[in-house]
A and B are shown apart, each in its own frame.
Chain A
Amino acid sequence: MFNMPYYVRKRIIDIGISIIMLAFLALTLLPVGWMVFSSLKSSTDIAIGRVGLSHNLEGKIEVRWSNYVDMWKNVNFGLYLKNSIVICGSTMIIAMIFSTLAAYSLSRFRFPGSDLFSNGILATQMIPAIMYLIPIYIMFVKITMMTGIPIKGTYWGIVLIYSAFFIPFSIWILRGFFASIPKELEEAARIDGCNALQVFWYVALPLAIPGIIATGIYIFLTAWDELMFAWVLTNADTMTIPVGIRLFVGNYQNRFDLMMAAATVATIPVVVLFFMLQKHIVRGLTAGAVKG
């Protein structure tokens, strides 16, 4: 083979690599495809490992689209979906406001304490989540006991915690976006007589909108995925999808099929949002890595 001309050998290697890559792609997507496929089977068929589609009572092959209808009735999935949307959306908005201001400030102003602030932000990522969770849980119980204001199991309790939790990482990403806005534009605005606040509002902010939206979507997706805090800090009314989806299989029933359908439904918004904004998210994540 090595006697062949260079371009032929290169072609063969290229084709070989492409085949390996496609095989790997198929293997990677296999679990996801299996999840969707399983959501159209019956529960017992999943459990025993039948590979084909299920048979209905007459013995004919059926695609159980009914799973996607039953899942809303079996467990209060509509409520969980609504809760997730409300909680994640509110978190996204609050965290974006806080972190945009802080990130702009860190990227443009060299004020005393900025290094301490930015290192502190980074340091919070090192702390295990459970170290916050126990005191926060106890704090919530205490506050309700002492003042009678309900906070554990309410929307705003968990939105507060989520916002605080996700702000540091969004500051880090947004800082990169703000840093990529050329300073000359801001200086030009300054010369034209804008004060710092106007420069921020009229010059920097509009240019950073793609980055801000991408970061907001990222916050939404991370909150959508969060389980531990939601498990402890929500109750039956405010449960989010990650907590509620466990109820399909448990002490009273074993509906694997509905669970797979619910898992698919829970994944769809993530996929849609991600593909709408993948360019920006990818740019935001890799900017930090490559620029260093």
Chain B
Amino acid sequence: MKRSKKEVKKSLWSRIKQYRIAYYFIAPTILAMIFLHISPILQGIYMSFLDLNQMTLRNYLLAPFVWFDNYYKVLIDPNSPIRIGLFEAVRNTFIYTVVVTIGTLAVGMVVALMLHRKFFGRSLVRTLFLFPWIVPTYVTGLLWGIMWLKSGGLVNVMLVDWLHILPSKPSWLSGPNTMWAIIIPTIWRYWPLSMLMLLAGLQTIPDELYEAADIDGAGPWTKFWMITWPMLRPVWFILILFGLIYNTYSFNIVIMMFRFGAGFPGEWGDLMMTNIFRNSFQLWNFGTGAAASVLLLIVMVCIVNVWFKYFKQAEEMR
């Protein structure tokens, strides 16, 4: 039965009055978000259209309005410092994000499966496995920055001097190996989180499914693909989403690895965030930095949209 417009309007307002305590509760958060989230974002977008650097910073509202000049500098101009490193940063971020997300998921899955059986000391082992996640990210960057050192770092000492896997000590912190130098510590730090969530998910799968599969004569591989993996879908969808967002924005580990924040990660180690940070706060190009972050945000919104569509589709197919 269609309600008249007047009746609908009345019920909205009376609902607002009815729930007014809810609004009181969220008021502080809303205020904080408006001043410290929404306002900076809008300002950031505005700043991306200004020529903002160390000189014009003093009077930023009066800084010259340069339309899309900053975006041109970021994307096209071959001489601007931010453009020069941009292609590498984008490529590195893409490879890094994909490999780290898949890596943490894979390692977490394997260990979760291993921990799923009951055995003596299981809680202790599971807790011990969480150690990498507890170590702060900047400590991870520092630590691995020392471990990857060419002549004295633990990795090279182990690979070359102890185990003789490699004939000579490769350089990990410069050249293409840098990509591995940033990927491995990140996977090391984050796979316990995946493991934890996958383990919790594993524990919700009813045993009867496996028993039925056993009766039908299924081998372990079949059981994994047909039962375990599909039932864990909600977990790994979330892990992939957060992995994508978090790793695209990764900063702490990488920046601390290269001369502990003072160095340049190199053409194979530079990520979007370190690139923009360097351009904004060390080369003082705020305008182009803002433009680059707006572009990064747009890319992320597209990625998340694609993910949501895929997720919805997958859910509807079930």
Q: With A112-B19, A267-B134 as known contacts, state yes or no: A21 contacts B111, CB within 8 Å.
A: yes
The stretch of A58-66, A67-75, A148-156, A243-251 in contact with B is A243-251
Give every chain A residue within 8 A of B201 (Cβ-Cβ).
Answer: 289-290
Which secondary structure dominates chain B's binding surface?
helix
Q: Which residue of the partner chain, among B47, B58, B252, contacts A134 with CB atoms under 8 Å?
A: B47
Contact across chains for A197 and B21 when beta carbons are under 8 A apart? yes
Contact across chains for B300 and A128 when beta carbons are under 8 A apart? yes
A260 within 8 A of B: yes
Report B17-61 CB contacts with A as 1/0, cut-off 8 Å: 001011101101110110111011101100100001000011010
Q: Tell me the A residues contacting B by CB distance below 8 Å.
A: 14, 17-18, 20-21, 24-25, 28-29, 31-32, 34-35, 38, 46-51, 97-99, 101-102, 104-106, 108-112, 114, 117, 120, 124-139, 141-142, 145, 160-161, 163-165, 167-168, 171, 196-197, 224-225, 227-228, 231-232, 242, 245-246, 248-251, 256, 259-260, 263, 266-267, 270-271, 274-275, 278, 282, 285-286, 288-290, 292
Contact across chains for A101 and B29 when beta carbons are under 8 A apart? yes
CB distance from A195 to the nearest CB of B (A): 8
Give every chain B residue within 8 A of A51 (Cβ-Cβ).
Answer: 157
Q: Tell me the B residues contacting A by CB distance below 8 Å.
A: 12, 15-16, 19, 21-23, 25-26, 28-30, 32-33, 35-37, 39-41, 43-44, 47, 52, 57-58, 60, 111, 114-115, 117, 119, 125, 127-132, 134-139, 142-144, 146-147, 149, 151-154, 156-157, 161, 188, 193, 196-197, 200-201, 204, 234-235, 238, 245, 248-249, 251-252, 255-256, 259-262, 272-273, 276-277, 280-281, 286, 289-290, 293-294, 296-297, 300-301, 304
Give every chain A residue within 8 A of B188 (Cβ-Cβ).
Answer: 28, 31
Q: With A132-B44, A224-B136 as known contacts, state yes or no: A164 contacts B293, CB within 8 Å.
A: no
Contact across chains for B57 and A138 when beta carbons are under 8 A apart? yes
Give every chain A residue within 8 A of B255 (Cβ-Cβ).
Answer: 227
Q: Which residue of the partner chain, among B114, B131, B138, B147, contacts A34 with CB atoms under 8 Å?
A: B147
Give every chain A residue within 8 A of B259 (Cβ-Cβ).
Answer: 249-250
Alpha-carbon distance between A102 and B23 when the two chains are bound, in angstroms? 9
CB distance from A103 to the nearest CB of B (A): 9
Q: With A112-B15, A128-B273 as known contacts, state yes or no: A134 contacts B22, CB within 8 Å.
A: no
CB distance from A43 to the nearest CB of B (A): 11
Contact across chains for A130 and B276 when beta carbons are under 8 A apart? yes
15 contacts between A and B (CB under 8 A): A21-B125, A49-B152, A51-B157, A105-B21, A127-B297, A128-B293, A132-B40, A133-B280, A135-B43, A136-B40, A225-B138, A227-B252, A275-B127, A289-B234, A290-B197
Alpha-carbon distance between A229 and B153 when the two chains are bound, in angstroms? 30
Closest to A124 in B: B37
Alpha-carbon distance between A49 and B150 when the two chains are bound, in angstroms? 9
Contact across chains for A130 and B152 when beta carbons are under 8 A apart? no
Contact across chains for A138 and B286 when beta carbons are under 8 A apart? yes
Contact across chains for B43 and A289 when beta carbons are under 8 A apart? no
Q: Which residue of the partner chain, among B32, B115, B127, B139, contacts A98 with CB atoms under 8 Å?
A: B32
